[in-house]
Structure 1
Amino acid sequence: MSTWLLAGLGNPGPEYERTRHNVGFMIADELARRARASFSAPRGMRASVAETVISAAGVGVPPGDKLVLTKPRTFMNESGQAVGKLASFFKVPPDHVIIAHDEIDLEFGQLRAKFGGGDNGHNGLKSVRAHLRTGDFYRVRFGVGRPTGHHAAAGYVLDRFPASMREDLAVEVQRAADACETLMTEGLPATQNKFNS
C-alpha cells in the first residue's frame, strides 16, 4: 500500500469562498464528502487535513491506498509550505502528489490531468514546485476561462462564480473529483482518455 497526497489549492477565509481561485478547495471538499472524512488542522502543518483511503471502488472504500486530502491554510502563493510539510511527514514522493487547481488557459468545463511541466504563471504551483524541489507531480487543471475586456486576470480569479453557473459548477467539481479518483486508481493515460478536453 502507498500513500497519496491530494492538495486542493485556494485561499483561506470566507471572503474567498466560491471564487474561481478556490476550485481546488471545492474538489478536496467533494472528495472528503464522498469519503465521509472530516478536515482538521494538525499543529504546525499550516493546512486543513483529512485522511481516508482510495481503492478501485472509490474514495473512502477500503482496502486501498491511504489518501491525505489537504487545503493549505496559507494564501495561494505560499501553498507549497503546507504541501512540502505534509509530503515529508507522510513520506509521500512527488509522483504520488496531486495538485488540483484553477486554470485560466482552459475554458470553464474543460479539465486536464497531466504530470510534470511548468507553473504557467500560477503562483500556487510555483510555490509547490519550490517546496517539493521538483515539478514532477500530478496536476488536475480545472478550467475557469479568461476574463473578457480589460478585466485583469488577478482580479478575475478572485471573483466568485456567478449565481447562474452554480449548478454547472457543482457538476464540474464532481467531474474533477472523479478525475482525481481515476488518476489514483487507474493511472494517468486512463484519466486523460476519460477527462481531458
Structure 2
Amino acid sequence: MILVVGLGNPGNQYENTRHNVGFLTVDILAKKLNSSVKKLKFKSLYGETRLNTEKLILIKPQTFMNNSGESVREWVNFYKVPPENLIVIQDDIDIPFATLRLRQKGSAGTHNGMKSIIYQIQKDNFPRVKIGVGQKNGQMDLADFVLSGFVKEEQKAIEEAILLAADAVLDIVKNGIEHAMNRYNMRKKSSL
C-alpha cells in the first residue's frame, strides 16, 4: 500500500492557489486512475485505487496546511505504512517556476505543511515531489504569495507542471524514487 498525499488548504477560496498544487496533482492522479477523492477519513478527503497490483490511497488533508501532519500521522499509524511508501506532493518557492524536484528524503525547508508531517511522524525519509510555484517579489508577504493564484501568463506552464508531477508519482510507484528522480528532476514538459 502506498499513501499519496497532496498538500493544500481546504475551501473554494484556496482552490487554485500556489499552495494547493499538491491537491491539484492528487485530483489529476485520481482522474488518470479512474478514481475520485471524495470520502472522508482521518481529517482528510481520500480515494482508493490500484496501479497494477499496488493499492494507492490518494489523500488531501483537510486540516489546513500547517497541520497536515495530523492527518498524515493517522494514515501512517493506522495502516503501518513505512516511510518509503508515503509520497508527499508540495509546492516549493525555492526551485524554478513550473519545474519539479523529487527527493528521497530531507528536511522540510521553509514549508510548514512538510514541517508538520515530519514532526508528527518523526521521520523525514519519505519521497516527495516538489512543484516550483515561483518566488515572491521583495515586498510581498510569503503567506500572501503562496495563497495567491497564478497569473494568466503562468497558467499553462503550471498546468503542465502539475501533469508532470502526476506522471512522476506514477513513476515512483512503478519504478522507484531513484528512477523517477533521474527522469523528472527539473524537467518542464510532460512526456507520458
TM range (shorter): over 0.9
**Whole-Å separation in 1 of the counterparts to 2:83 and 2:181:** 19
Matched, 1:49 2:46: yes
Per-residue CA distance 1:31-65 (angstroms, 9 max, x = gap): 0011121223334x10001000123xxxxxxxx11
2:156 aligned counterpart, secondary structure? helix
Which residue in the other structure is 1:40 paired with? 38
1:53 aligned counterpart, secondary structure? strand
Matched, 1:141 2:130: yes
Match of 1:160 among 149, 152, 158: 149
Structure 1 residue ranges without an equivalent (≥5): 56-63
Match of 2:24 among 23, 26, 49: 26
**Whole-Å separation in 2 of the counterparts to 1:141 and 1:39:** 21
Q: Give the Å deviation of 1:168.
A: 2.1
- AA partner of residue 144 (structure 1): V
**Whole-Å separation in 2 of the counterparts to 1:168 and 1:146:** 15
Q: Give the Å deviation of 1:191.
A: 0.8
Which residue in the other structure is 2:189 paired with? none
Which residue in the other structure is 1:87 paired with? 76
Q: Give the Å deviation of 1:173.
A: 0.7
2:164 aligned counterpart, secondary structure? helix
TM-score (norm 1): 0.90
- AA partner of residue 14 (structure 1): N
1:6 aligned counterpart, secondary structure? strand
Summarize the alignment of residues 10-21 of structure 1 with structure 2, pairs less than 5 Å apart.
10-21=8-19
Percent of aligned positions with the same letter in both sequences? Answer: 38
Per-residue CA distance 1:67-94 (angstroms, 9 max, x = gap): 0000001110000111111122222111
Q: Give the Å deviation of 1:110.
A: 1.3
**Whole-Å separation in 1 of the counterparts to 2:132 and 2:62:** 23
2:40 aligned counterpart, secondary structure? coil
Matched, 1:188 2:188: no
**Whole-Å separation in 1 of the counterparts to 2:110 and 2:37:** 29
Runs of 4 or more, structure 1, over 6 Å off, are none
Matched, 1:71 2:69: no
Q: Give the Å deviation of 1:189.
A: 1.9
Which residue in the other structure is 1:6 paired with? 4
Matched, 1:129 2:118: yes
Which residue in the other structure is 2:190 paired with? none
**Whole-Å separation in 1 of the counterparts to 2:152 and 2:45:** 27
**Whole-Å separation in 2 of the counterparts to 1:134 and 1:41:** 27
TM-score (norm 2): 0.93
Q: Give the Å deviation of 1:177.
A: 0.4
**Whole-Å separation in 2 of the counterparts to 1:186 and 1:39:** 24
